[in-house]
Structure 1
Amino acid sequence: MRQAKVLASEQQQEIVAEQFPNLALPHPGYLSTKFSPWHPGVDLATGLGMPVRPIAEGVVEEVNIWLWGYGNHVIVSHSRGLKSLYGHMGRIYVKKGQIVSQNTILGEVGLTGYTSGPHTHLEIQKDGQNIDPLTILPPVPSYPSPETLRPAGGDQIKSDLVKTLKPDFN
């Protein structure tokens, strides 16, 4: 019975992949945690502040600011029953109800919620069921490269941090 369920699930994910041929990764990065029954998404590690984009055009369904779990996160509804969740964001630039394209910047990779480093927790649902994002997205490297570890706009982030940490004695 278990083998039949696995086979049915694989066939369903192949059908889903055929329905959405133009999905994109939310940002460059590498796979730090795989999909499993205990982790209903994948973690895409990258540099702090990296812009996060939606996997496909859609409408922002939720914008949540949380300290726990997913941290700051956005949920986007796409066509044909597909939804995507982007967790652990630092800054969020979109609002509920906003129409987004694959070029829209939803926000930035951050360290909010339960996280051990900068990454995006990406979940994808089809008709309310979690599916493994790796079965329908472009290939994701399983190791870091220099580009994926570099903070986006690193000079600006450092400058902002120095301004924040520098005491004002005036």
Structure 2
Amino acid sequence: MEEMAMSIVAVRLGCAEPPLWEEVVEYMLNVGSCIWSMRRSKANFFIIVFLFSGMISMSRRLGEVCQWKNPVTSALVHVVFSILICYPELILPTIFLYMFLVGIWNYQFRPRHPPHTDTELSWVEAVHRDELDEEFDTFPTSKPQDVVMMRYDRLRSVAGRIQTVVGDMAT
């Protein structure tokens, strides 16, 4: 059923200007996403890590302020919090001012070229030959039993590491 819907969309987008190939439409619709892939799982893991890295760095900075690692910064943050407690109507303008200043600061690091697929984030640059072979393998597999056993062992080790990370987060 998915393949039929994908082919209908591919035919329609193939007539568009500029025409899209069927492979592009298949990739965009993520047909066959039910098949497990080591590369895709690594990419998803690093996307999640990238997502939470901002919150983790903010919590580290707050911890440094609470531990007075940098006394000037800690004093400044405490003064700002005290002012915000005394004048709560300044909370929203302060947040918007902070967001504006962060936007100006990050403007210098903007990409200078047109946007494209991030090859580092999709983990396509560091993929191994065996992982690509596994991703493009048929279902059911056409590989010998020892290759399938190696893939299964690798899957168990990755699942064990994920279980350890989830356990640490739960703790």
Compute the TM-score of the two structures, normalised by the length of structure 1: 0.23
More helix as a share of residues: 2
Q: Which has the larger radius of gyration?
A: 2
More strand as a share of residues: 1
